[in-house]
Amino acid sequence: MPQLRLDTPVQFLKGIGEKRADALARLGIHSVHDLLHHLPHRYIDASTVTPLAKARVGDDVACIGTVMSKGVLPTRKGLRVFHAVLRDESGLLECAWPGQAFLDRTFAVGQLVLVAGPIRFYHGRQMAPREYVILGDADDPASAGRVLPVYPATEGLSHKQIRVLIDSHLDALIPLVPDVLDPALRERFALPSLAEALRAVHRPSSVAAAEAGRRRLAIDELLDLQLMLARARHVARHGQRGTRFTVHKTHTTALREALPWPLTNDQKKAIREIFDDMTKAERMHRLVMGDVGTGKTVVALFAMLLALENDCQAALMAPTELLAEQHHRTLTTLLEPLGLVPELLLGRLSAAEKKAAQARLRSGETTLVVGTHALVQDAVAFKRLGLVVIDEQHRFGVEQRAALMGKGEAPDVLLLTATPIPRSLALTRYGDLDASLLRERPPGRGSIRTAVRTPSQRRRVFEFLRQTALEGGQVYIVLPVIEESEKADLRAAQTMAKTLEAKWPDVSVGLVHGKLKTPVRDQVMRDFRDGKIGVLVATTVIEVGIDVANATVMVIEHPERFGLAQLHQLRGRVGRGSKESHCIILTTGEDVPDRLRAFAATDDGFKIAELDLEERRQGDLLGARQSGGVDFKVARFPDDTDLLTEARALARTLLEADPTLDQKAHRSLRDRVVTRYPKGEVLFRVG
Ligand code: ADP
Ligand code: MG
């Protein structure tokens, strides 16, 4: 056998043949390192086991007890069954292992054993253990606290086999693990060594010890990412200098004086932060986060005007034509007193119109342009693009964003998003990205009242909708599906639209959903915007829709089918005018779930983002882990948010001392980061 190293393939380990190696590969385990980092997903110990007397028929439980008696009994069919009766403080439980008479030689009376499996009824309660562990002598105090790790398993390789495998090699493998953090740093951040942490997760003395080990591993996982993000940001900012804008107070001051309303404090602060960035030589890369209606557009406009008063052009890109049109209209109105006319560039323009618009951009005649991804087409060139604004930036691919930025020489970048994200996700997704938050809503706008209504109140709700429409108001009804189906007993958009059209001849009903072709869908949305439609029945395609101030009611059917963040986005479609708006949540059953009560009780997007994350974490661990855009194996959110802060501090400390992690003490860390994130190769190479 070759000398054992962390990158040695697992086949070289004793007890791993070709078949097992295949099974391990399915779990993503190829090397010795992978095996060591295959972590238990739970632990069984005295605090998680069921007292013997409490194990009920039909349950699947883990129990610990002392063997009182044992023996092999033949069944009538001749099968030999090993029996053992266990006892703990609560009582007795019989366990039976059919066909495993040999266990008679394994077990001894007086031993403390852990068993796990289903409880069935067979002349009384009886467990058919799927697995067992002999913990030791009942009177040996050392065995009392034994904690049993349970590993993710796969077909052909049970978690018990994995446990035995890891346990049998642990002592030989742990010494191979170097620590990527030097002892002084570990001490400063009160972290155990990597070797200690790995030993603790695989062979814990207590569940608390296992958790302490897991936290070190989670910090390392987060540290690698934070190092990448910090490094990427550093390179982006220093690699290419941006334009150093000067506040000439021409356009910007003119706009401030011409605005029909005062800016909110949050808007003022955001504009100040943006101007600070833009007047520096480093490139701006800032995110403006704020719920719908908090007034991000005008904030972006100030940034664009600062570019303009420095003889640069500015471009605003939106994900849909409707949104682009809306921005264009808003900007046109706001800029009118300044004598500035923004350009609009959309895919649906005629070839001649596009050509003319492109010519104006190239010559510099157009200083401010709003558009869709039509802006990133090859034919589009700018004379001097100084600022790029991207609305709902998460709806664009990295390439599209990069393509727009590539149309200028290191233009400043401002990103807008109406999807507030929890701090933990912001940190993992964007690292140190600068963010300006708009939490305050402009005054003078109608509030949104959220009500939860049950099926028995449906008639009254629909009567209210009809009245609203008849009085010239507009409403949205959102449903989770387009068509009815046998599989799911859900109300569908198509059916709803048909029913309402038949029932309410005096109201104009529109329908939009994702199966309509974009031009058709856009036309319906335009008709709604122009007030030609009173009731718009829709699926979530209107999630990032248009700003219709006259629409004051949002009804959401089957709200349990939507995430809280999604419900919040939908709610934000109303409350855009001065009238009071309503968001009505129509439950499927008479019981109102707590989550919907919580939703109705707050309209703080950041709070809802936290609730949403928590909900997704509980519903689907992996989903929540991945929702940061990064797949974490060890770290869990939001639980590990504190670790994230710690990892970030650690990354800063490391990079301050050694920006490219080039010192000898940091090389193994750099190697690990680059192995995990191949992109890092470039980032850590440049000085
Ligand atoms: P967001 O993009 O954040 O959803 P918008 O920028 O579209 O919000 O602004 C929503 C509406 O509020 C627009 O009609 C805008 O003109 C208006 N608005 C923006 N800021 C203010 C303010 N400070 N006071 C009053 N109205 C404002
Ligand atoms: Mg907006």
Ligand nearest to the CA of 390: 2
Answer whether residue 181 is part of any domain: no
| Residue 643 burial (CB count, 10 A) | 24
The total number of structural domains in the chain stands at 4
Crossing angle of helices 265-278/296-308, nearest 10°?
A: 30
Q: Is 53 contained in some domain? A: yes
pLDDT at position 622 over 70: no
Q: Has residue 333 got a pLDDT over 90? A: yes
| 77 and 2 within one domain | no
Q: Of 581, 603, 625, which residue sits at a domain end?
A: 603
- Whether residues 117 and 167 fall in one domain: no
Q: What distances in angstroms separate CA 382 from CA 352, 379, 387, one per listed residue?
A: 18, 10, 11
Residues 311, 345, single domain; the answer is: yes
Shared domain check, 353 and 256? yes
Dist CA 186 CA 189 (whole Å): 5
Q: Residues 553, 582: one domain?
A: yes
What pLDDT sits at residue 238? 67
48: pLDDT strictly greater than 80: no
| Of the residues 584, 603, 622, the one at which a domain ends | 603
The single residue listed with the structure tokens 């709070």 is: 607
Task: Examine the domain organization and report whether 160 and 93 are in the same domain.
Answer: no
Residue type, 320: T
Ligand 1 in contact with 227 (CB < 6 A)? no
Asked which of 560, 578, 603 is the last residue of a domain, the reply is 603
Helices assigned H by DSSP within 89-134: none
Q: Which range of residues forms the domain containing residue 162?
A: 1-45+148-176
**Whether the CB of 417 sits within 6 Å of ligand 1:** no
**Residue 99 located in a structural domain:** yes
For the CA of 392, the nearest ligand: 2
Say whether both 464 and 501 belong to one domain: yes
Any atom of ligand 1 within 6 Å of the Cβ of 295: yes
Q: Flag whether 74 is in a domain.
A: yes
Q: In Å, what is the CA distance from 42 to each residue of 48, 51, 154, 578?
A: 10, 19, 16, 53
Residues in contact with 566: Cβ distance below 8 Å, sequence separation at least 6, in sequence order: 540, 543
pLDDT tens, residue by residue, 354-404: 999 999 999 999 999 999 999 999 999 999 999 999 998 777 877 788 889
Q: What is the 574 CA–ligand 1 centroid distance (Å)?
A: 13
- Distance (Å) from CA 298 to ligand 1 centroid: 7
The verdict on the CB of residue 264 being under 6 Å from ligand 1 is yes
Q: Domain check: are 506 and 577 in the same one?
A: yes
For residue 472, how far is its CA from the centre of ligand 1 (angstroms)?
A: 23
- Taking the C-alpha atoms of residue 213 and residue 176, their distance in angstroms, rounded to an integer, is 17
Tell me how far apart the 2 most distant CA atoms of the chain are, in Å: 99
Instruction: Give 137's pLDDT tier (boundaries 50, 70, 90).
Output: low
Q: Is the pLDDT score of 95 beyond 80? A: yes
Q: How far apart are CA 507 and CA 499, in angstroms?
A: 12
pLDDT digits over 465-485, tens only?
Answer: 999 999 999 999 999 999 988
Question: pLDDT class for 626, splitting at 50, 70, 90?
Answer: very low
Does 243 reside within a domain?
A: no
Confidence of residue 627 (pLDDT cuts 50, 70, 90): very low
| 2 in a structural domain | yes
**Distance of CA 676 to CAs 34, 128, 225, 630, 683, Å?**
12, 43, 9, 12, 13
Mean pLDDT within 499-515: 95
197 touches 217 (CB < 8 A): yes
Share of the chain above pLDDT 70, in %: 92
Ligand 1 within 6 A of 263 CB?
yes
Is 442 within 8 Å of 574 (Cβ atoms)? no
Q: Which residues contact 350 (CB under 8 A, 6 or more apart)?
A: none
Mean pLDDT of 640-651: 88
DSSP SS3 for 125: strand
Examine residue 343 and state whether it is found in any structural domain, yes or no: yes
Complete DSSP assignment for 399-457: HHHHHHHTTSSS-EEEEEESS---HHHHHHHHTT-EEEEE-PPPTTS--EEEEEE-GGG
Per the listing, tokens 């706009």 go with 255
Do 493 and 559 sit in the same domain of this protein? yes
User: Residue 210, class by beta-carbon neighbours within 10 Å (0-12 exposed, 13-18 middle, 19+ buried)?
Assistant: buried
pLDDT at 444 over 80: no
310 pLDDT above the threshold of 80: yes
The DSSP call for residue 486 is S
The CATH number assigned to the domain holding 257 equals 3.40.50.300
Question: Does one domain contain both 462 and 370?
Answer: no
Average pLDDT of the residues of the chain: 88
CA distance 673 to 684: 10
CB of 334 closer than 6 angstroms to any ligand 1 atom = no
Look at residue 139 in the predicted model and tell me its pLDDT.
62
Residue 118: both structure tokens together: 């289903």
The answer to whether position 184 is within a domain reads no
Q: How would you list the strands of the sheet with 535-538, edge to edge?
A: 448-453, 581-586, 551-557, 474-478, 535-538, 509-512
Q: Which DSSP string corresponds to 217-277?
A: HHHHHHHHHHHHHHHHHHHHHHHS--------SSHHHHHHHH-SSPPPHHHHHHHHHHHHH
Same domain, 463 and 504: yes
Based on the domain organization, do 23 and 165 belong to the same domain? Answer: yes
Is the full-model pTM beyond 0.85?
no
What is residue 93's predicted lDDT score, i.e. its pLDDT? 95
